Amino acid sequence: MSANIVYAILVTSLATFLSRFLGVISSQGIKETSKLFRWFNCLAYATLAALIARTIIFPAGVLVDSTYSSRLIVVLLSLFVFFISKKNYIYPTVFSAICMTIINNYI
């Protein structure tokens, strides 16, 4: 292996584990009901919603071949499964992959 690759792996690993370590240390003083914690929670959900919306509206990779309507149908059906399964994340995730495969290949 090249020395540059080893350095890159070491630096990225250090940055990842350092940020996680500092998060664990700083989380001791934060209460789950505090305004700061709720703000970060809202920020995380907003970022996730933006990434999902970007994937649906401006797909990349394999999703480029699918139509906008098929992506929208899969999202709506997956949301339905999410609420039916009492807000379980596993079922709609697996369902969306299967549903998208069926819609793109057979319909």
Helices (H) and strands (E) in the chain, counts: 4, 0
Question: By percentage, how much of the chain surpasses pLDDT 70?
Answer: 99
Tokens in use for 60?
């990349």
Mean pLDDT of 24-43: 85
Cα 65 from Cα 19, distance rounded (Å): 38
**In which band, very low, low, confident or very high, does the pLDDT at 17 lie, cut at 50, 70 and 90?**
very high
The pLDDT of residue 1? 58
Instruction: Give the mean model confidence (pLDDT) for residues 86-92.
Output: 93
The model's pTM is 0.61
pLDDT value, residue 12: 93
Sequence-distant (≥ 6) Cβ neighbours of residue 36 within 8 angstroms: 30
